[in-house]
Copies of this chain bind each other. A is one copy, B any other.
């Protein structure tokens, strides 16, 4: 693991696979990179049926308190999730969006934003349900927090055998999209960058 401690929140609609995405990231850190991770969901009376949110902590030490207050990285797959959680992002943090579902209206200073049309990419693979794993692949590429192999193995390990191949393709699609986006941004492709900011 590159960092000592990373706090991540993943949020979206129920049914988008938020929890599985969070679990894959936790598993990748812990099993395949020798670190520790926790994944926590808190449900309370204020929760609404339509939304889903999970917290992941990655660490090089055992984790005693698994709640995230200010995430370093926020992954959002719905407008509601963006509105609710974006203000909590740590200064200097990273915001990752499903760019066709999230319109960014304002943003704390110093946040880096990366968007991916995960639902559309998943549909192109034949199954909208793998949008969460497309997001995980994209997360892997743009954060570079965990190795590609570790994440990929965690995906294979977390889904039923009959769905492994599909999910690995989804992961690869998201990862490639993220790598290509980084290359464009490094080459100063401002149009691409701008389209993200105003997605």
Contacts and interface: CB of A to CB of B under 8 A. Distances in A.
Nearest to A130: B160
Main SS of the interface on chain A? Answer: mixed
Given A38-B40, A41-B23, A31 B15 contact: no
Interface stretch (A45-53, A101-109, A176-184, A189-197): A45-53
Contacts of A112: none
A interface, size bucket: 35 or more
A91 interface: no
A43 B31 contact: yes
A74 interface: no
Nearest to A41: B39
B44 A62 contact: yes
A152 interface: no
Contacts of A157: 14-15, 49-50
Interface string A69-87: 0000000000000000000
27 contacts: A15-B157, A15-B158, A15-B159, A19-B20, A27-B47, A29-B43, A30-B44, A30-B45, A31-B43, A31-B47, A31-B48, A31-B49, A35-B45, A36-B42, A36-B45, A37-B42, A37-B43, A37-B44, A38-B43, A39-B40, A39-B41, A39-B43, A42-B63, A42-B66, A49-B157, A52-B158, A66-B66
Interface of A: 14-17, 19-20, 23, 26-27, 29-31, 34-45, 47-50, 52, 62-63, 66-67, 128-129, 153, 157-163
